[in-house]
Amino acid sequence: MILTLKNLWTRRKQHVWLCVELVLISVVSWFVIDPLFVEVYDVYVEPDGFDTSSLCCLRPMNDYNNAWAEPEPLEMDLNVIKNKILEMDEVESLCFETSWFLFSDVNQHSYVSLPGDTTKSCYGAVNWVIDVDNDYFKTYGYKVIAGNPNEEDGAIITRSVAEKLYGKTDVCGATISIWNASERRVEEYVDDKKIIAVIEDVKMGKNFNCRHSIFYRSKSRLFSAASVECILVRLKAGVDADAFCERLRPTMQKELRSGKTYVGEVETLDHLVEQDFRHSGYTGYLRRQISLAIFFMVNLCLGTVGTFWLQTRKRKEDIGIMRSFGASKGRIFREFLTEGLVLTAICHLLGCFLFFQYAYSNGLSRGLMRTDLPLSHINDCWLNHFGLHFLAVGTFIYLLLLLTVSIGIAIPVWKICRKKVVSLS
């Protein structure tokens, strides 16, 4: 290592522009890779907390003139249709939902606190339509840690919320205060709710990283048949959701009908998520980020590999001298590669230091669908911790630079070492 540092210091004038290039690449990589890193983690790496592959959404439609004024006939129709669906061999359970796009309410939040505590922490809140035989949690596949989420009234909190408020998960029977929130302001006191169950962490949306969720029954959204926009169906293990939807489409308006109500549309939840992504512009945004990253990385590889390739080829006389003094090919290979890796580390540290000046004032990327509320109140995910986030992305960029520099050094050194010593003068 000492010899490597001496060699770098001796050739410092030749490395000036190379260092400038590496520092510039390191800084620009932060602006390109950091947003994509967060988005990819949110959508494809962070666990959803439930399995979407076996979920289908059936949209009920009706010909009632004013279902809101007289919901009783519609409620009877929905119950008949519900029973017909449950009689199907492929169906395991179902529940009613108030949104066709099931994640449309993810931007609603509620502040919660322990009774009498003036400190309020913000967590995402979810309301659900509940009826007598509701299988909401079974249908979604949420894992229950403690309690019974099917009790008539109360709050169901996730593991993270329980640990944040109480330091443990066995908190059934305790009481929390819930407040409606909007734009970082507490707007109105909702109610004190008894905790009836604790479930594993669950994301409120496919690309919305918020694991601190509270499920509760809101007085303003009591069950009404007219508010049902989706019948969420969980299929049994081994049943293909796409095949189930294809089989159902031709006959569903006839077979799944009661009175003036019928099922007019059926889609898999995964397909609806894709539709929601396209409708919100998220798909286009993600494709642009990926295209930009690919374009940048290709140019990075070509430029950096080419620069190191030329720099290495210029030192073939040095390799010849080392070979004439008995240095093995492996020794030469390791020596050149170590120089490149150390130079890359120094330049990347300088690049990270420069980007840190920007990130400390403006923050790191939070992703397109992350809430504007303070992240420390929303989620304890490591991406929301500045130090861990900075270290993870910085390490990823460094490994990427190492790979590129290694290619630019290893190939020409290997080719030069294959030549005879007399031809390296």
The tens digit of pLDDT for each residue in 346-382 reads 899 999 999 999 988 888 877 655 544 443 444 567 7
In the prediction, which pLDDT does 222 show? 46
In the prediction, which pLDDT does 162 show? 85
**Is the Cα torsion angle 150, 127, 210, 275 positive or negative in sign?**
positive
218 CB burial (10 A radius; 0-12, 13-18, 19+): middle
Strands (E), 70-167: 91-97, 109-113, 121-127, 144-147, 155-158
Q: Which residues, in sequence order, are CB contacts of 16 under 8 Å at separation 6+?
A: none
Which range among 97-106, 285-294, 347-356, 411-420 shows the weakest confidence by mean pLDDT? Answer: 97-106
Q: Does residue 26 have a pLDDT over 50?
A: yes
d(CA 198, CA 2): 57
Band of pLDDT at residue 335, cut at 50, 70 and 90: confident
Listed as own residue / partner, the contacts of 319-323 with beta carbons closer than 8 Å and 24 or more positions apart are 319/413, 319/416, 319/417, 319/424, 320/421, 320/424, 320/425, 323/417, 323/421, 323/424
Extract the tokens encoding 145: 């840690």
What pTM does this model have?
Answer: 0.71
In the prediction, which pLDDT does 2 show? 63
CA distances from 276 to 44, 52, 226, 269, 270 (A): 16, 15, 23, 10, 10
Please, what is the Cα angle at 95 between 92 and 97, to 5 degrees?
145
In the prediction, which pLDDT does 423 show? 58
* AA identity, residue 287: R
Q: Does residue 167 have a pLDDT over 60?
A: yes
The whole-angstrom distance between residue 327's C-alpha and the CA centroid of its chain comes to 50
The whole-angstrom distance between residue 343's C-alpha and the CA centroid of its chain comes to 34
In the prediction, which pLDDT does 191 show? 72
Q: What percent of the chain has pLDDT over 70?
A: 71
Helix (H) or strand (E) holding 389: helix 386-417
Extract the tokens encoding 305: 């590999």
Average pLDDT over residues 245-267: 89
- Whether the CB-CB separation of 46 and 208 falls below 8 Å is answered with no
CA distances from 366 to 29, 36, 122, 238, 360 (A): 16, 10, 17, 37, 14
3-state secondary structure of 88: coil
In the prediction, which pLDDT does 189 show? 63
- Whether the CB-CB separation of 312 and 409 falls below 8 Å is answered with yes
In the prediction, which pLDDT does 107 show? 44
Computed over its alpha carbons, how large is the radius of gyration of the chain? 29
In the prediction, which pLDDT does 91 show? 92
* Greater pLDDT, 300 or 127: 300
Average pLDDT over residues 85-103: 79
The residue count of the chain comes to 425
Q: Does residue 196 have a pLDDT over 70?
A: yes
Q: Which residues, in sequence order, are CB contacts of 258 under 8 Å at separation 6+?
A: 76, 77, 78, 80, 81, 84
* AA identity, residue 265: E
Average pLDDT over residues 278-307: 80
d(CA 129, CA 136): 9
* AA identity, residue 68: W
Chain mean pLDDT for the chain:
77
- Whether the CB-CB separation of 196 and 137 falls below 8 Å is answered with no
d(CA 95, CA 60): 12
Strands (E), 183-260: 185-199, 213-216, 230-235, 257-258
Residue-wise pLDDT tens digits, 115-166:
666 666 656 656 554 554 568 888 888 888 988 887 767 788 888 888 878 8
Q: What percent of the chain has pLDDT over 90?
A: 12
127 CB burial (10 A radius; 0-12, 13-18, 19+): middle
Domain boundaries, the chain: 2-47+283-424
Average pLDDT over residues 185-211: 71
Band of pLDDT at residue 97, cut at 50, 70 and 90: confident
Q: Does residue 424 have a pLDDT over 60?
A: no
Chain position carrying tokens 């010909």: 63
- Whether the CB-CB separation of 27 and 351 falls below 8 Å is answered with yes
The whole-angstrom distance between residue 372's C-alpha and the CA centroid of its chain comes to 16
- Whether the CB-CB separation of 94 and 86 falls below 8 Å is answered with yes
Which range among 105-109, 136-140, 322-326 shows the weakest confidence by mean pLDDT? Answer: 105-109
